[in-house]
Amino acid sequence: MAKIKLIDVANLAGVSKSTASQYLNGRFEYMSQHTKDRIAEAVKELDYVPNPIARSLKSDKTKTIGVIVRDITGFDTSRVLRGIDDFCKNGEYNVIIYNTDFDPEVEARSIRALYQLRVDGIIISSSGNNQHLLQDYSENGLPIVEFQLEHDDTNKNIIISDYKQAAFDATEYLIQLGHKHICFLTQNFENVKSRNERYQGFVSALAKHNIPLHKNLIQYWHRETGFQNSIKDMLRSPPAPTAIFTQHLAITTDLLTQFNQE
C-alpha cells in the first residue's frame, strides 16, 4: 500500500501543497469554503494521516511525553502512570511508556529513543546509572523530570515523597505498639538519597524513644540474589525482631514467599 503524502492531497484537491498544509494546521481563515471543502474531501478520500514527526520538525512540538519506569507492574508506578496518562489526555498529549526492568542499558536505549522521537519531555524513574545522558539532553533543551528515587548526582527537577518523615512515622507507630526490636529490610542505599532518608527516619524514631540500634536487625536485599542473610536465622538470633519494616513491595513479596515456604 503506497504511503499517501501531503502533495497527493494537494493534487487531488487542486491546491498548492502550502495551502493544503495551512488547512491541516488550522490556518484556513482566509480560504473560501469551497477550497476547504475540496481539501477535506481529498483528505477523506485518500485516508491521509499527517506525519507527526514531519509536523514536529516545523512546529518544534510533538504533543508527546515519554515516560521511563523500572517496573510497570509496581503498585505505586502503575498509579503514577495512570495519573500521567489522564493528565496528558486532558491536554491532548500522547504518552510513550518504556519499561526497563531495572536494566541500566535498556534505560539508556529508552532515553535515546525518546530523544530521537523528539518528545516534548521525559518523566523518568531513574536507575542513577545514566545521569550523564539525562544531563546532556537536559542541557540541549529537553525538559526532564525524575520521580520515585533521588540519587546523589541528581541535579534538579525531581518529585519525591518525604521518605524520612514517612519512615519515622511508620517506625514510631511500631514502637507505640510495643515493639523495640524492629528489623529494617532495605536495599543498598549508598548513593541513593531516597533510600538513605528512609534509614535516617528509622534511626531517628529509635533515638527519640531511646531504643538502641542493633546492626544485625538491618538486613539488605538485592533484586537478583534476594536477602543478604537468612531471614530464618535472623528470627532465631538474639535480639530476634518482633516486627519487620520493609522498604519496597518487592522486598515484602520476597519475605512473604520465604515465610510461606517454612
Instruction: Write the pLDDT tens digit of every residue in 236-262.
Output: 888 889 999 998 888 888 888 877 765
Domain 6-50 carries which CATH code? 1.10.260.40
Selected residue with higher pLDDT from 155 and 43: 43
For residue 22, the model assigns a pLDDT of: 86
Level-2 CATH architecture, domain 163-261:
3-Layer(aba) Sandwich (3.40)
Mean pLDDT of all residues in 11-36: 88
Q: Among 46-55, 176-185, 205-214, 234-243, where is mean pLDDT lowest? A: 46-55
Question: Distance of alpha carbon 88 from its chain centroid, rounded?
Answer: 14
Level-2 CATH architecture, domain 59-159:
3-Layer(aba) Sandwich (3.40)
State the Cα–Cα distance between residues 35 and 253, nearest whole angstrom.
64
Contacts with 164 (C-beta within 8 Å, 6 or more apart), sequence order: 197, 198, 200, 201, 204
What digits encode the pLDDT tens for the residues 63-99? Answer: 899 999 999 988 889 999 999 999 999 988 999 999 9
Residue 197 reports pLDDT greater than 80:
yes
Residue 52 reports pLDDT greater than 70:
no
What digits encode the pLDDT tens for the residues 199-228? Answer: 999 999 999 999 999 988 999 998 888 888
State the Cα–Cα distance between residues 104 and 106, nearest whole angstrom.
5
| Fold: same for 6-50 and 163-261 | no
Domain boundaries, the chain: 6-50, 59-159, 163-261
Q: In this prediction, what percent of the chain has a pLDDT beyond 90?
A: 51
